[in-house]
Structure 1
């Protein structure tokens, strides 16, 4: 099991909409994540900076960031592009984070 973390950037004033959309996550997207080995996925918001911190536990080689070629993820990105900073292909601007401490 590997632990992955990354940050993304929420647009100003979009906290409620971001939460709403994730509370109503599409069942087929949730299933795709589970099928890809994502067993835990949390996203936290730093309201001072609008930085989203994401954490995943993943069995396998990659996490959600490796599913961008799938149709459902591309639709999700298009759906989310108005509430967060995105790249030209609608993927969220994200930065992988290095784990520097872990305690069991």
Structure 2
């Protein structure tokens, strides 16, 4: 199974930005372990000064990663505490984020270019070499 790259957006309430950042400076150890065990890899959050939050992670299956976290007790506690930090959110942050569409990935395009160049080099047609 290939790795899915997931990028998402949420809006942190401006009055809560510093507290939100502080909470993420030392995430609960059991939450960190649960994320790892349920397939959330290379997970980062980026916060703009106006509260725009962009998250990124890699997983084999977004649905399986979400379901795995939903089955943990620590996630229920974390989502309950984090939900109050966001604007216009009627569900938990892990369910209510806006997923962004990936339109470019350097490694994917370089791999495709390498494949095309390899095909051309292996061709018996001297005009393609």
TM class by smaller structure: 0.7 to 0.9
The structure richer in helix per residue is 2
- TM-score normalized by the length of structure 2: 0.68
RMSD: 1.9
Query: How far 1:65 moved relative to its partner?
Result: 4.2
Structure 1 segments unaligned to the other structure (5+ residues): none
Name which structure has the greater RCO, CA cutoff 8 Å, separation 6+: 1
Aligned pairs for 1:51-66 (under 5 A) are 51-58=52-59, 60-62=60-62, 65-66=66-67
Q: Which residue of 1 aligns with 2:33?
A: 31
Query: How far 1:43 moved relative to its partner?
Result: 0.8
Q: Which residue of 1 aligns with 2:98?
A: 95
Count of equivalent residues: 100
Structure with the greater alpha carbon radius of gyration:
2
SS at match of 1:99: coil
1:9–1:94 contact (8 Å) kept in structure 2: no
